[in-house]
Structure 1
Amino acid sequence: MGSVTEEFRIIIAGGGIAGLATAIALRAPNRQITVLERSRMLGEVGALISLQPNATKIVSQWGIDKFLEQAEPMPDRAFRIFNLEGKMVREMRLETDMFGADRMLYHRQDLHKGLLDAATSPELPGPPAVVRTASAVASCDPDAGTVTLQSGETLEADLIVGADGIHSAIRAAVLGEERSAIPTGISAYRLLIPIENLQNIDNLPEKMIDTSGRSSEGTTTMIMGHDKRVIMGPGRGGKVFGVVALVPDEKMNETSSTASWVEAGSRQKLMESYADFPAWLREIFARAPDIALWQLRDIDPLPTWTKGRAILVGDAAHAMLPTQGQGASQSVEDAEALQAFFRQQHAGGRPSATEVASALRAVVAARYERASLIQLYSRQQARPATDSKASNTVTLDPAQFMKYNCDYHGAEEWLARQQAKQ
């Protein structure tokens, strides 16, 4: 396949989690990987994020555990749902032997740094990826295999991966039209609280928060009531506690009109939105150093993710709401699928345009149905705010869907399993 005398040139647009995971997955001898990142990469947004068992299995296979250990990941041992009276109404255990790996909780900055270090480390197989910051992509020609930066510079590659997020510049080139992110009817307040700030909260329900700051394991908690929900969990080895509070847009007491993660939110307005929730929950809100607010947006399933030499991955392909905690994990799955279907290229050599396009079609065939279903269920779980926008319904209950999400062992195995059912 291809000539063994020329390097396989890969451009990845986007240096976030999806882009760096792809850079790690595609590393191999005789490959030149360039990551184009629009920002100066001075630090990822401060928030907690998880890698579900389906993704944890994959990153362990990449041999990057030592890079991620520096991120102080915490295995998440249970998902607990509480009502407004503080009573635990459901607990789903998350043991390693259930899905072959743990659900791991990270601070987003730490996970990003671990992936960046792995992508650029000389210790992994193949040449390290080269990350170019302040290199925003303006346009792409998928058939020619070119990317033009906002600076006017044009770069050529045998494979172009659009990992440039929900506002992807590559997406329009692949689809031949603009597909903008759409508001989903929900806004989210994001709080990151030092664990020492959460001591001595009156009437805090048992099993809600471990305030010792010494726990090596975590638990994710959701409080549901009326048409709102709050998801909480620990990070950085138990030293911080992350909170996401979801509010239907029509019930907001302030305007949320952007998808920016750094827009400031009002503590007073958050308190007003949760005025009918228990005092212990509002006390948690009160102890946050600052509050961010963003309007949750996703995209409808796209007609395709690929054209010519280009493919979309992560949020560029299937941006989804955080209600299943699968956004980052689906990006990792995309990266593994690219690795799997370009595996025969590991001996080196530059593939032809026909060979690249064929491999990319195989990636989409293995990934499209699964990612689209998880995307749909993530939107459905945000109801009732998006109830009127849902065109169909996934009938699995949360435990069944957790099994669907996490019982995954890679693209080739998944594709074979689906074909066996036909």
Structure 2
Amino acid sequence: MSQRHILVAGAGIGGLAAALALAHAGFRVSVTERAGAIEEVGAGVQLAANATRCLVALGVYERVRDMAVEPAGFAVMDGRNGRVITRAPMGAAAQARFGGPFIVIHRADLQAALAAAAREMPAIDIRLGRTVRGFTQAAGQVSVQLARGEGRETLEGDALVGADGLRSAVRGVLHPNARPSFRHRAAWRATVPASALPARLADPVTRLWLGPGAHLVSYPVKAGAAINLVAVTPDEREVHGWNLEGLPGELLAHYRDWSADALALLKTPEHWLRWALFDLDPLPAWGTGRVTLLGDAAHAMPPFLAQGAAQAIEDAVVLANTLKEASDIPAGLRRYEALRQPRTARVQRAARAMDRLYHLAGPARIARDLVMRARSGDAVLERYRWIYDWRA
């Protein structure tokens, strides 16, 4: 029997993780990517124990760790007065508690590590500059129609995995009426040299600064040489794009009354990228026949629990496991979907709830902070043990 051939649309974090997991499970994999090069927009990503255990299983954690930081602590800050609301030790303490490391890393470094590992595997073929135009299923195969510059080509395989992001072309064929949902917020992202900040703001700590209507996240990346900043503000510009320049003055207008430390972070970058935030309402079904979805293409979620990339990586491992164990490809894909849909929907609901919680104002904000102080940072982490304890 010939080696089964899986087609993966998208060479982002989820697509590359899927390629690695499938290759380790004995499949031949062709990854198509519309971009001409594998590169990621400058931003950081947080990976909790549920994701790092998957990276260990994929054999890439050591590669990733070289450019990552394992924060020593986590702190929730009052954005207005700069005081700590609650904090928790991370590092070895979190690893002992949840059975895996919690790391922060520049997204480009994570994607580069996954791509390098994929290129070293003979079973994985990465084809750049290909845009999915459609697909058909017949005679036990999937035929994917691709645009390559001015030309066209067709790629055939035993299954197609749409890991092509929020604006998925594969999902567009499966669910033409499923549109991303605008969250009426923008994430402003920047990375600055750690040396440009006071030492107290460049330490290995993940900080979440909360204020009325807006919040700010800061954490180290590039092995501690840089600090990643994500500022989330109200925004009604429903324009999708990862490279939209943001005006610093416009951003700072949302943080006029914030603390000196928060403003020191916000005033350091000369350039910001502004991303409108979208997610995707749960789909009635991810796929049909020999086609399925993975990552943001299936379950894009707000970034407020830092689980978007982690859930895509989980998807990848479960997909490979179910296909390896299945008697036939369609049965394996339906089993994968049955396992993943309830969990990703629950994580998405929790992330949407955090959107509301982070941005409270007035008495509700005061009550939230009192509860968080009373419960401690450890309790904040324990609330999401059901996320972090997950194992394939």
TM-score by length of 1: 0.82
Is 2:309 aligned against 1:314?
Answer: no
* Other-structure match for 2:160: 160
Q: Tell me whether 1:149 sits opposite 2:142 in the alignment.
A: no
Taking the aligned partners of 1:224 and 1:30, their CA distance within structure 2 comes to 46
Over the matched positions of the two proteins, sequence identity in percent amounts to: 30
**1:259 to 1:386, Cα distance in 2 relative to 1, 3 A:** farther
> Does structure 1 retain, via aligned residues, the 8 Å contact 2:52–2:101?
yes
Deviation, 1:261, is 1.6
Instruction: Report deviation, 1:186.
Output: 1.0
Do 1:142 and 1:174's aligned partners in 2 also have CA atoms closer than 8 Å?
A: no
The offset of 1:385, in angstroms, is 9.4
Tell me, in whole angstroms, the C-alpha distance in 2 between the residues paired with 1:57 and 1:156: 32
Q: Which residue of 2 aligns with 1:129?
A: 124
The CA distance in 2 between the partners of 1:44 and 1:140, in whole Å, is 26
1:413 is aligned to none
- Rate the CA distance shift 1:163–1:29 in 2: closer, same or farther, 3 A: closer
Following the alignment from structure 1 to structure 2, what is the Cα–Cα distance between the partners of residues 64 and 283?
A: 36
Contact 1:194 1:240 in 2 (8 A): yes
Is the Cα contact below 8 Å between 1:54 and 1:409 reproduced in 2? yes
Distance 2:12 2:84 in 1: 36
Residues 234, 241 of structure 1: 8 Å contact kept: yes
SS of the residue corresponding to residue 71 of structure 2 reads strand
Distance across 1 between alignment mates of 2:4 and 2:154: 18
Distance in structure 2 (CA, Å) of the matches to 1:89 and 1:386: 15
Query: In structure 2, do the counterparts of structure 1 residues 276 and 142 end up closer, same or farther at CA, with 3 Å as the change threshold?
Result: farther
The separation in 2 between residues aligned to 1:93 and 1:364, in whole angstroms, is: 35
Q: Which residue of 2 aligns with 1:304?
A: 285
Who is 2:43 aligned against? 47
User: Could you tell me the TM-score, scaled by structure 2's length?
Assistant: 0.88
* Residue of structure 1 in register with 2:370 after alignment: none
Aligned equivalent of 2:84, options 67, 77, 88: 88
- The match for 2:202 is 209
The answer to whether 1:231 aligns with 2:228 is no
Greater CA drift, 307-316 or 191-200: 191-200
- Residue of structure 2 in register with 1:358 after alignment: 331
CA apart distance, 1:142? 4.7
Tell me how many residue pairs correspond in the alignment.
365
Q: What is the CA deviation profile of residues 119-161 of structure 1, one whole-angstrom value per residue up to 9, with x for unaligned ones?
A: 1114xxxx33111110011112256512111243221110111
Read off the aligned partner of 1:174 and give its amino acid letter.
L
Corresponding residue for residue 384 of structure 2: 402
The residue matched to 2:207 in structure 1 has which SS?
Answer: strand
Aligned twin of 2:366: none
Secondary structure of the 1:381 match is helix
Aligned-partner Cα distance in 1 for 2:190–2:217: 11
- Counterparts of 1:255-270 in structure 2 under 5 Å? 256-270=237-251
State the shift of 1:188 in Å: 1.3
Aligned pairs (5 A) from 1:5-24: 6-24=2-20
Which residue of structure 2 aligns with residue 416 of structure 1? none
Which residue of the partner structure matches residue 415 of structure 1?
A: none
CA deviation string 1:271-297 (max 9, x = no partner): 111112123322222211311111100
- Residue 72 of structure 2 aligns to a residue in which SS? strand
SS in 2 for 1:234: strand
**Do the aligned residues in 2 keep the contact of 1:229 with 1:245 (CA within 8 Å)?**
yes
Indicate the SS of the match to 2:245: coil
Greater mean alpha carbon deviation, residues 377-386 or residues 329-338: 377-386
Q: Which has the higher helix share?
A: 2
Residues 29 and 356 of structure 1, relative CA distance in 2, 3 Å threshold? closer
How far, CA to CA, are the matches of 1:170 and 1:315 in structure 2? 12
Bigger drift between 273-282 and 8-17 goes to: 273-282
Q: Confirm or deny that 1:290 pairs with 2:303.
A: no
- Structure 1: state its 5+ residue gaps: 201-205, 211-217, 251-255, 346-350, 388-396, 411-422
What aligned pairs does 1:68-87 form with structure 2 within 5 A after superposition? 68-70=64-66, 72-83=67-78, 84-87=80-83
2:61 paired residue number: 65
Q: For the residues of structure 2 that align with 1:183 and 1:340, how far apart are their CA atoms?
A: 33
1:98 aligns with 2:87: no
Rounded to whole Å, the distance in 2 between the matches of 1:219 and 1:198 is: 14
Q: Alpha-carbon deviation of 1:398?
A: 4.2
1:379 aligns with 2:352: yes
Structure 2 CA distance, aligned partners of 1:88 and 1:339? 43
Alpha-carbon distance, 1:67 to partner: 2.7
User: Match of 1:328?
Assistant: 309
**1:222 matched to 2:208:** yes
How many angstroms apart in 2 are the aligned matches of 1:328 and 1:384? 22
Distance 1:42 1:159, change over 3 A: closer
Aligned-pair distance for 1:33?
0.9
What is the rounded CA distance, in whole Å, between the counterparts of 2:117 and 2:22 in structure 1?
A: 12
CA distance in 2, matches of 1:148, 1:188: 34
Partner of 1:392: none
Cα deviation, residue 232, structure 1: 0.9
Q: Distance in 2 between matches of 1:134 and 1:235?
A: 29
State the alpha-carbon separation in 2 of the partners of residues 139 and 385 from structure 1. 40
Following the alignment from structure 1 to structure 2, what is the Cα–Cα distance between the partners of residues 147 and 7? 19
Aligned counterparts of 2:180 and 2:325: Cα–Cα separation in 1:
35
